Structure formats: C-alpha cells, structure tokens
Amino acid sequence: IAAFETGKRVAEIFPAVLRDAFIACKRQELNTFALNVSDFEIETYLESV
C-alpha cells in the first residue's frame, strides 16, 4: 500500500481521486484481515500455549 501510495509512476498513470480511493479500500481491507484469525493460526498458536 505504501509503495503504491508513494510510487512516481502510479502518480503519473492514475488520477489522484482514484489513487486515494484505492488506497483507502486497501487499508480497510488490510484492517479487516488483521481482525480475522485463520484456522492455521488458531491451531498453531493454541498448541504452543
């Protein structure tokens, strides 16, 4: 996300409104994923506690 946000070519190719919307969507997506725990994580960490 940070690389997209600061990329020189990205700024040349996409209009600011599209870049801002895309970045906001990806940050929201990342935050949503961070709130969910996968079965793999549960199984891995449950055994180590």
Q: Count of CB atoms within 10 A of residue 7's CB?
A: 13
Q: Which residue has the tokens 């079965």?
A: 39
Domain count across the chain: 1
pLDDT at residue 29 in the model: 96
Residue-wise pLDDT for 30-47, tens only, equals 999 999 989 998 888 887
Question: Which residues constitute the domain of residue 30?
Answer: 2-48
| Three-class secondary structure of residue 1 per DSSP | coil
Q: What is the pTM of this model?
A: 0.73
Residue that has been written with the tokens 């990205």 in this structure? 10
